[in-house]
Structure 1
């Protein structure tokens, strides 16, 4: 057991864990970003965007969204037409492009800590916006339809998904810290080389 604990607590295990977090974050952003180009995903985020004071201006008629909601897998051409006129799909396509870019930057962090740091910072900031939906979006909570459990603290399906972004934020911060440390070490090594100090510092090889 002691040997196993020694292996798990070692530097190599720590590196594997951090790189695994990078891959996991990149997978989430790239996959979900890609789904943003599908109408059903664009429709599903309508309540969050329409109620957000930071994002509602992207829609032409954010105050009308509730009467045009559909269920996943459901096709109503009239509602699709309204969503298109509302710029729902144009916004979702733009958001998807941004999310894919963030995911790719985080993934690049496997070979370039500097670019990976940029992606990690963006990945950390994204949940700051999404977690605000818990405050601004009524649909994040179970509606009062007769059951005793509704409103706070009873999260709806959408609200539960949003809450999980706390884990994404925490993981992104670990990657931010790792990337910042690598960039600083690389900068120190470069300065030492220019000063002709000879002995290399303990720097990360991927910067």
Structure 2
């Protein structure tokens, strides 16, 4: 058993670099998908309800009546289900600025991922990549507070123990919660880069 402990201790640096590669893959893949309309549509509830981002959209938070006559945020009426394209929804998202914002966000995410990866060879660059990853994760995790869609909605039913609202995460909520791993990964990456920078100076 001691041999296994020593092995893991000796390759700690390799595992940290593996984490950087993992962050890079996640960032570039998800960032690249931001160019796809379905992904741009999918992030609208997060952006529209965020006090940090909602100003990027033109009219997604405007209240309007749905088919049942209830007042709802306008974006809820124009969501394309994944795998389906409805032209009137595409037109609305175009005027809302959905795609323009998504392209820019995708570029930022890919750039951060590249900075993290470069930390393998360039600690100063990697340090800022880790810090930015941490910051991005903080913003993403704030959606757990600002976005209603991250919790299971109350659709009625006869269950004596309703399972909606906090802490019952929806699919979107479970996706957001995973960013706590990115938060930790960013901090580990930044601190390891800072350690290398410090050792070089001393």
On whether the aligned pair clears a TM of 0.5, the verdict is yes
Q: Would you identify which runs of 4 or more consecutive aligned residues in structure 1 move more than 3 Å?
A: none
- Give the corresponding residue for 1:36: 34
- Give the corresponding residue for 1:17: 15
- Give the corresponding residue for 1:86: 96
Query: For the Cα contact (< 8 Å) 1:51–1:62, is it kept in 2?
Result: no
Deviations along 1:127-185, one digit per CA (max 9) or x if unpaired, are: 10000001000001001012521100100000000000001101111111101111122
Q: Distance in 2 between matches of 1:85 and 1:186?
A: 52
Query: For the Cα contact (< 8 Å) 1:36–1:42, is it kept in 2?
Result: yes
Q: Secondary structure at the match of 1:62?
A: coil
Aligned length: 186
Q: Report the TM-score when normalising by structure 2.
A: 0.90
Structure 1 gap ranges (5+): 189-207
Q: Report the TM-score when normalising by structure 1.
A: 0.87
Q: Max radius of gyration: which structure?
A: 1
Q: Secondary structure at the match of 1:9?
A: helix
Q: Return the offset for 1:62.
A: 2.2
Q: Distance in 1 between matches of 2:138 and 2:154?
A: 27
TM-align CA RMSD: 0.9
Structure 2 gap ranges (5+): 62-73
Q: Return the offset for 1:66.
A: 1.4
Q: Distance in 2 between matches of 1:37 and 1:150?
A: 32
Q: Secondary structure at the match of 2:104?
A: helix
Q: Secondary structure at the match of 2:100?
A: helix
Structure 1 or 2: more helix by fraction: 1
